[in-house]
Amino acid sequence: MNYIGEHLLPGKLGHFFLLLSLISSLGATICYFLSVQRSSFMVRGGNTQATYDANPYWKKLGRIFFITQAVSVFAVFSILFFIIYNHYFEYKYVWQHSSLSLETKYLLSCFWEGQEGSFLLWSIWHCVVGLFFIGREKKWEGPVMTVVSFAQLLLATMILGIPFFGGHLGSNPFMLLRNSEVLNNAPVFFDMAGNMRQDYLSLIKDGNDLNPLLQNYWMVIHPPVLFLGFASAIIPFAFAVGGLWTKRFTDWTKPALPWALFSAALLGLGIMMGAAWAYESLNFGGYWAWDPVENASLVPWLLLVAGLHTLVIFRHTGNALRATSLFFILGFLLVLYSTYLTRSGDLQDTSVHAFTGEGITPTHLRIFLFLFVIPSLVLFFIRYKHVPHIVKEEEASSREFWMFIGSLVLFLSALMIIGMTSVPVFNKIIALFNGEEKTFKTFAVGEDAAFAYNRIQIFVAIIIGFISGTGMYLKYKATGKGYMKKILIPVFIALAAGGLILAFGNINYTEHGYGYLGAIWLAIFAAVFSLVANGSYIFSGMKGQLKRSGGSIAHVGFAMMLLGILLSSSKKEIISLNTTGIFLDFGEGSKENPGENLTLVKGVRTKMGAYYVTYEKDSVHPQKQLWYYHLQFEKADGSERFLLTPNAFVNYKGQQGLMANPDSKHFLSHDIFTYITSLPDPEKNRDTASFRSEKLSVGDTIFYSKGFAVLENLNSMKEISVPGVSFGPEDSATVAYFKIYSKTSSIYTVQPTLLNIKNEIYAKADTIMQENLVLQLQGVNGSELTLGIKESDDVMQYVTLKAYKFPFINLLWLGTIIMVIGILISMAWRIQTNKLKKVSISNQKRSGQKAGREEQAVKL
């Protein structure tokens, strides 16, 4: 059967390319695997003459398959975007995630709102990273691309959506709306015989729209960056696995370092962009809430950072290779684990923004996870003994010793965070052993979840702050006393600066006791020290050569982030505390302490913290039910004056309630941040207020509390223009013209109207907001009419809001940018020195001279 208006070609093409990507990624995996296995790349017993030559035929074939695969994924990506862009609502994905009123920039957010699109985004980054890898790293192409292709194979199964042993394998983004079950409960789409109507598509006027919370510019840019971070994390993993697999335990470390740095930079940036989104569009009052979804992305980053530090140790001293392999392997496994956590629905009780397991089943995700966890960890433990290591102990004064301790701290911190986040998973596992009697209870995180994390991580911050500050001044192998003296200046500067912050910063966060406050102070010292020490090392240690100082710059950025986090959270203030006394009518059961929400009546200047705030007016978005509330903030002395317009979707898509987006004013030293928590419910008001009825003739006057109204005219007509109403021959309308004279000597005209449509009466009331007055025409009899008059406070407009002051939040954002730039500088430098070494090695071969440059380059 043909349906009117459908565009089926893109879907068919899309499905074809999905299948092609699946098959070609399978081909690429097998061919790349054999290219390594059937070559002298593998170090085998007795094979000491191993070369880097992978089997050329299999390798070539693998490359062809991978490129085919990449082309298919690009095709799928383009087709999916094409159908979203053209609003082809016959596709379920398009209907479910977009709408006609959506701005073009948000069409990309629609793309990755759903499971299928975000997997596709991940997959396309794998392609990009893989193609770059093939172009740049010819030597390690075989082993690394085996792993990447295998990941691509598994990702392809996620978006396949074919029947599979009674269930379905993956979820196809090109599924048609009429084939999904969405329309089944809407009889209007079916004819008498129960078949789908041929013109069903003409009934679908618009899509389901994008979740309003995601209608934010950060949601356009944050997912691609984060997923590039996730996707690139596979490269260090693949290097480590490849090294263990081929028994080339050390060769991979040189090319792996720039890739690991890239991944750490992008993942770090992606996470912080997510934090910026949370800060700007969520209402938990901050950028970080230790939400499982956030934790799940932070933990792989911690491991990547730990891994790249141990990798640097290995490159310089030959220590810590085992730890490096472990950290990189776990880093990517945790990316997969976080995928499982956030997408399987197992977390949805504890997270505000986890996917539910629609389309892609939790089992499928678990299999994906285990297909990576088991082989990589088994390989690691089998090969563990063979991985070269140095028996001799590191000097306590050596740089590598403290770098290693720092990496261990990051690793342990990551383990603790992921352990705490996995409480729902443990509950699930425990529940497997629960019989009918429910022997085991379900656990839940205690009263203050954020504090549970903070009180542990603050010590991590302290240790990392001190180590990252000191580490740069130490030398590899052993540090002489004379060298150590250089650190004294930054120590004194840090003591002075930290002391000043504590003396005048007024940091007295005693909510969790003095012990915790002490830890905060110590952490502030550590962060300031790291900032100063790394900053001055750029000049004292690196002679101001920025391109060589990537590490120090990244540390400076990280220290600034720490400082920003510490200051903004310990000095965060709620300024909307309800202490004005005006509305302090605490009901039963309410605690005595002031609430955190404040109500502003329209036009009434209200004191809030150091400000006076006036709710001036509101405006509506031209296309959406999105309201902006104009709040004028001013300092009592008039020194500051600014407008904030937090907005909210009111009764979004006919559902009750509001979805609010905050607004903030950025100052150099702090942000003022506010959002609407509640609005009067217009429906409720309409129900409770009642009209007083009066009989009137033209020329009569009627009084109300603040003035009087005169009925000037009464007009019956066959037709008036009312939007959405078409008048039939029998229909009519009556309009009453009132003039209102108020005590404030304002004069208003009001036109309540009565419509008679198909023998049904509809009253269209008219309202004067300023007078809290509503007039409604209830009946007309010749020249006499019945008027309903209502005066009510319910017409009064107000907003309830919450407002914060976030000090020094800009330090966090600035620190992030500096850190990412630092890591990227470091990456560029490593790429350069790697090239340098290649050149110098070839020089060495040619001339037989001992080239000093390599040695020099390594030291850098």
Per CB under 8 A, which of residues 366..425 are in contact with another protein? Answer: 393-394, 396, 401, 404-405, 408-409, 412, 415-416, 419-420, 423
Residues 260-289 touching another protein, rule: CB under 8 A, are 283
How many angstroms separate the Cα of 59 from the Cα of each of 29, 236, 239?
Answer: 10, 20, 17
Q: What is the Cα 536 distance to its own chain's centre?
A: 34
Residues 99-128 touching another protein, rule: CB under 8 A, are 114-115
Outline where 86-103 has alpha helix (H): 92-97
Q: Which of 4, 496, 584, 643 binds another protein (CB under 8 A)?
A: 584
Q: Which is nearer to another protein, 390 or 747 (CB)?
A: 390
Is residue 191 close enough to count as binding another protein by CB under 8 A? no
Rounded distance between C-alpha atoms, residue 767 and residue 740, angstroms:
11
The pattern of x and - marking residues 542 through 581 that bind another protein according to CB under 8 A reads ------------------------------------x---
Which residues, including other chains, have CB under 8 Å from residue 679's CB and lie 6 or more apart?
A: 648, 650, 658, 798, 799, 800
Q: Which is nearer to another protein, 167 or 724 (CB)?
A: 724
Q: Which of 384, 492, 539, 586 binds another protein (CB under 8 A)?
A: 586
Answer whether 239's CB lies under 8 Å from 252's CB. yes
Is residue 213 close enough to count as binding another protein by CB under 8 A? yes
Residues 322-341 touching another protein, rule: CB under 8 A, are none
Beta carbon of residue 561, minimum distance to another protein (angstroms, whole number):
22
Q: What is the Cα 496 distance to its own chain's centre?
A: 38
Answer whether 405's CB lies under 8 Å from 467's CB. yes
Taking contact as CB under 8 A, which single stretch among the options 227-235, 249-257, 364-372, 648-656 is the one that binds another protein? 648-656
Q: Which is nearer to another protein, 71 or 405 (CB)?
A: 405
Q: Which is nearer to another protein, 394 or 854 (CB)?
A: 394
Per-residue tokens: 664? 């903030």
Rounded distance between C-alpha atoms, residue 162 and residue 160, angstroms:
6
Q: Quick one: CA torsion of 837, 840, 842, 846, rounded to 10 degrees?
A: -170
Segment holding 613, helix H or strand E = strand 611-620
Residues 656-675 touching another protein, rule: CB under 8 A, are 656-660
Q: Which is nearer to another protein, 71 or 722 (CB)?
A: 722
Annotate 662-697 with b (16+ C-beta within 10 A) or e (fewer): bbbeeeeebbbbbbbbbbbeeeeeeeeeebeeeebe
How many angstroms separate the Cα of 837 from the Cα of each of 50, 255, 606, 833, 846?
Answer: 21, 12, 68, 6, 14
| Phi, psi for residue 393 in degrees, rounded to 5 | -80, 150
Residue 354 is classified by DSSP as -
Residue 653 is classified by DSSP as G
- Among residues 558, 589, 378, 562, the alpha carbon closest in space to that of 461 is found at 562
Rounded distance between C-alpha atoms, residue 211 and residue 209, angstroms:
6
Taking contact as CB under 8 A, which single stretch among the options 81-89, 181-189, 258-266, 706-714 is the one that binds another protein? 181-189
Beta strands at 573-574 and 766-768: parallel, antiparallel or unpaired: unpaired
Which residues, including other chains, have CB under 8 Å from residue 415's CB and lie 6 or more apart?
A: none
Q: Which of 42, 75, 182, 493 binds another protein (CB under 8 A)?
A: 182
Is residue 452 close enough to count as binding another protein by CB under 8 A? yes
Which residues, including other chains, have CB under 8 Å from residue 57's CB and lie 6 or more apart?
A: 35
Is residue 436 close enough to count as binding another protein by CB under 8 A? no
Beta carbon of residue 188, minimum distance to another protein (angstroms, whole number):
5
- Among residues 670, 468, 458, 474, the alpha carbon closest in space to that of 559 is found at 468
Taking contact as CB under 8 A, which single stretch among the options 11-19, 132-140, 708-716, 759-767 is the one that binds another protein? 759-767
Answer whether 805's CB lies under 8 Å from 572's CB. yes
The pattern of x and - marking residues 455 through 494 that bind another protein according to CB under 8 A reads xx--x-----------------------------------
Q: Which is nearer to another protein, 506 or 655 (CB)?
A: 655
Residues 765-784 touching another protein, rule: CB under 8 A, are 765
Is residue 655 close enough to count as binding another protein by CB under 8 A? yes
Taking contact as CB under 8 A, which single stretch among the options 103-111, 121-129, 137-145, 598-606 is the one that binds another protein? 598-606
Q: Which is nearer to another protein, 132 or 459 (CB)?
A: 459
Q: Which is nearer to another protein, 126 or 343 (CB)?
A: 343
Taking contact as CB under 8 A, which single stretch among the options 55-63, 270-278, 676-684, 804-812 is the one that binds another protein? 676-684
Beta carbon of residue 756, minimum distance to another protein (angstroms, whole number):
12
Q: Which of 53, 199, 349, 719 binds another protein (CB under 8 A)?
A: 349
Answer whether 293's CB lies under 8 Å from 346's CB. no
Beta carbon of residue 814, minimum distance to another protein (angstroms, whole number):
30
* Residues in binding contact with another protein, number by CB under 8 A: 97
Q: Which of 228, 275, 598, 714 binds another protein (CB under 8 A)?
A: 598
* Three-state SS letters, 487-551: HHHHHHHHHHHHHHHHHHCCCCCCCCHHHHHHHHHHHHHHHHHHHHHHHHHHHHCCCCCHHHCHH
Is residue 645 close enough to count as binding another protein by CB under 8 A? no
Is residue 798 close enough to count as binding another protein by CB under 8 A? yes
Is residue 811 close enough to count as binding another protein by CB under 8 A? no
Is residue 517 close enough to count as binding another protein by CB under 8 A? no
- Name the one residue in this structure whose structure tokens are 């490159």: 315
Beta carbon of residue 206, minimum distance to another protein (angstroms, whole number):
9
Q: Which of 46, 163, 166, 187 binds another protein (CB under 8 A)?
A: 187
The pattern of x and - marking residues 27 through 66 that bind another protein according to CB under 8 A reads ----------------------------------------
Beta strand residue intervals within 692-750, DSSP E: 692-697, 701-704, 707-717, 732-742, 747-750
Is residue 443 close enough to count as binding another protein by CB under 8 A? yes
Residues 690-729 touching another protein, rule: CB under 8 A, are 722, 724-725
- Among residues 847, 832, 846, 842, the alpha carbon closest in space to that of 254 is found at 832
Q: Which is nearer to another protein, 87 or 455 (CB)?
A: 455
Beta carbon of residue 612, minimum distance to another protein (angstroms, whole number):
18
Taking contact as CB under 8 A, which single stretch among the options 1-9, 611-619, 629-637, 650-658 is the one that binds another protein? 650-658
Is residue 356 close enough to count as binding another protein by CB under 8 A? yes
Answer whether 648's CB lies under 8 Å from 676's CB. yes
Is residue 755 close enough to count as binding another protein by CB under 8 A? yes
In single-letter form, the type of residue at position 232 comes to: S
Taking contact as CB under 8 A, which single stretch among the options 355-363, 506-514, 515-523, 825-833 is the one that binds another protein? 355-363
Q: Which of 186, 489, 636, 717 binds another protein (CB under 8 A)?
A: 186
Taking contact as CB under 8 A, which single stretch among the options 81-89, 303-311, 778-786, 797-805 is the one that binds another protein? 797-805
Q: Which of 8, 50, 352, 836 binds another protein (CB under 8 A)?
A: 352
Q: Which of 37, 101, 606, 678 binds another protein (CB under 8 A)?
A: 678
Taking contact as CB under 8 A, which single stretch among the options 328-336, 608-616, 623-631, 792-800 is the one that binds another protein? 792-800
Residue 91 is classified by DSSP as B
Quick count: other Cβ atoms within 10 Å of Cβ 813? 18
Beta carbon of residue 657, minimum distance to another protein (angstroms, whole number):
4
Is residue 608 close enough to count as binding another protein by CB under 8 A? no
Which residues, including other chains, have CB under 8 Å from residue 649's CB and lie 6 or more apart?
A: 212, 624, 625, 626, 627, 658, 659, 660
